[in-house]
Chain A
Amino acid sequence: MTHGSAPQADTPHELLATVRDLTRQVRVAQRGTWFPLLVFATVALVAIPVYRYGPYLDLFHTCRSGDDQMVCSGENPTELGYWTVALVLAYAAIAAFYVKRSRRRGVGTPIRPYVIVGIALAVLMAAVSIWLTFHPLLPVPADPFATDVVEIKAGLAAQLIYGLASPMAVIGLALLVLAWVERHWALLAYSVVYLVIVAIMGAQVIHSASRWFFLPHLLVPAALLLLGAAVFALVRPTPEGQA
């Protein structure tokens, strides 16, 4: 042990403590948790005008015309297209943010698994949504023009599959990967809470004639994401302070 100029009196305990401290310091420097949350909150808020004013493009021929009305089953392809494109662009922006930040700070970032899983989930979401349009797992009313409120009961498997088709759930699932990549327990806890709230929201059927009926499904997750972005941005420790 004669290579270094530093003293060699470090015990194994001290050396391992140094390894742990430096690992923690690097992880803190690598984290940029607030940015993905802010991006997805923005994507959710931008979805509001798309849901309200986006035309129903009957790409999959699921619409049936009645006397003076038209009923369409399955997700609006406009909304599906919006989410698929928006999620892929969001992950590209997140990857660019992390890469630029790592160059500025001088410390690399293992963000690739998060971006790959996120994009894969976005594509899977689109595929599952299209599949569900042709193979609905929930009972379809015999008379699509009936105005009576029908109670829909879905099994756990159906709920899981519909969850994979939900953009909000897909965002939450990818956040679990980010929590693993960043070794971030607070983000893991946040992601689990977020997913539970999104799952509960997804199980609620809103009976309303309003054209804004979808608002809670977008506003609640957007508010959660904004809140998370603000908290993670405000309470992040400085890397130097962790040494």
Chain B
Amino acid sequence: MADHPANGLDDVVHQRVRLGIMTIAHQARQVEFGFLRTALQLTAGNLGQHLTVLEKAELITIEKGYEGKRPRTWVTLTAAGRAALRDEIAHLKQLIQQVEYAETAEPREGSVDRT
């Protein structure tokens, strides 16, 4: 029997905010802390916690610098991060397919019983 797609989900990535961070970082190549905070509507502290989790898992790299006198924090997805994001999306799609297949299969089984 094939492994259930839910077993392939990575706990670090399978979380709405972190999935959002990785999606934005993937699309943008490099994204600044302020853009992430606005796009995900998070407090700085909350976003910082999620970034730490992702950085510890080596899914992102964090680079701190200055733009003029303003401190800036740039987030970049690592190769492992790109692969993890790709896997997560693939697993989510598989889960949806399985649920939809189960929903369409049930009525058919019922009609067989009636005949």
Across the interface, which residues of A come within 8 angstroms of B11, CB to CB?
Answer: 1-3
A-B contact count (CB 8 A): 93
Is the Cβ of A106 less than 8 Å from the Cβ of B34?
Answer: yes
State which of A6, A26, A30, A109 has its C-beta within 8 Å of the C-beta of B16.
A6
In the complex, the answer to whether A15 meets B19 with C-beta atoms within 8 Å is yes
Q: Does chain A have a CB within 8 A of B14?
A: yes
Give the A interface residue count (CB, 8 A): 33
With A16-B92, A19-B23, A22-B23 as contacts: A108 and B16 at CB distance below 8 Å: no
How many whole Å from A164's CB to the nearest CB in chain B?
31
Residues of B contacting A103 in the complex (Cβ-Cβ under 8 angstroms): 67
Contact partners of B41 in chain A: CB under 8 A: 243
B residues less than 8 Å from A12 (CB atoms): 92-93, 95-96, 99
Would you call B4 an interface residue if the criterion is a C-beta within 8 Å of the partner chain's C-beta atoms?
Answer: no
Residue of B nearest to A240 (CB): B38
A sample of 21 cross-chain residue pairs with beta-carbon separation below 8 angstroms, ordered by A number, consists of A1-B14, A2-B11, A3-B18, A4-B50, A7-B16, A8-B15, A12-B95, A15-B14, A15-B92, A19-B20, A22-B24, A22-B27, A22-B39, A25-B24, A26-B24, A26-B28, A26-B31, A30-B28, A106-B35, A108-B30, A243-B39
Chain B positions within 8 Å of A, measured between CB atoms, are 9, 11-12, 14-20, 23-24, 27-35, 38-41, 46, 49-50, 53, 67, 72, 89, 92-93, 95-96, 99
